[in-house]
């Protein structure tokens, strides 16, 4: 299992617009590609020197091949949409993670 992680710093001036767009449009559109099983939107709890708000989205996919298919078939179009809509008000970087093992604790 793999996680495609996109971490974005969002300028305060478009923060709420971006967050609404991510929840209602972008994340559902990424999931609609059929390449990911689920997405988790998180807020990074640090103060950035550059200001703004930082979020990370974890998209979970079953294989490296599926992730490569996303890069080749869908990513360019989706990245272009972000740039057209928000230009330099959102700065993002991407990380690939491989899930090595999973542990669960049950609370009584």
- Model-level pTM? 0.89
For residue 55, how far is the Cα from the chain centroid?
8
Task: Give the tens place of pLDDT for each residue, 34-59.
Answer: 999 999 999 999 877 778 999 999 99
Residues of the chain with pLDDT under 50: none
């Amino acid at each position: 299992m793999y996680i495609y992680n996109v971490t974005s710093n969002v300028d305060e001036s478009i923060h709420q617009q971006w967050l609404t767009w991510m929840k209602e449009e972008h994340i559902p559109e990424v999931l609609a590609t059929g390449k990911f099983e689920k997405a988790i939107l998180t807020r990074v709890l640090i103060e950035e020197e550059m200001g703004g708000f930082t979020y990370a989205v974890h998209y979970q996919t079953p294989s490296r091949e599926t992730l490569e298919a996303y890069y080749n078939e869908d990513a360019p179009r989706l990245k272009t949409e972000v740039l057209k809509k928000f230009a330099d008000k959102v700065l993002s970087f991407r990380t690939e993670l491989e899930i090595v093992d999973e542990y669960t604790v049950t609370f009584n």
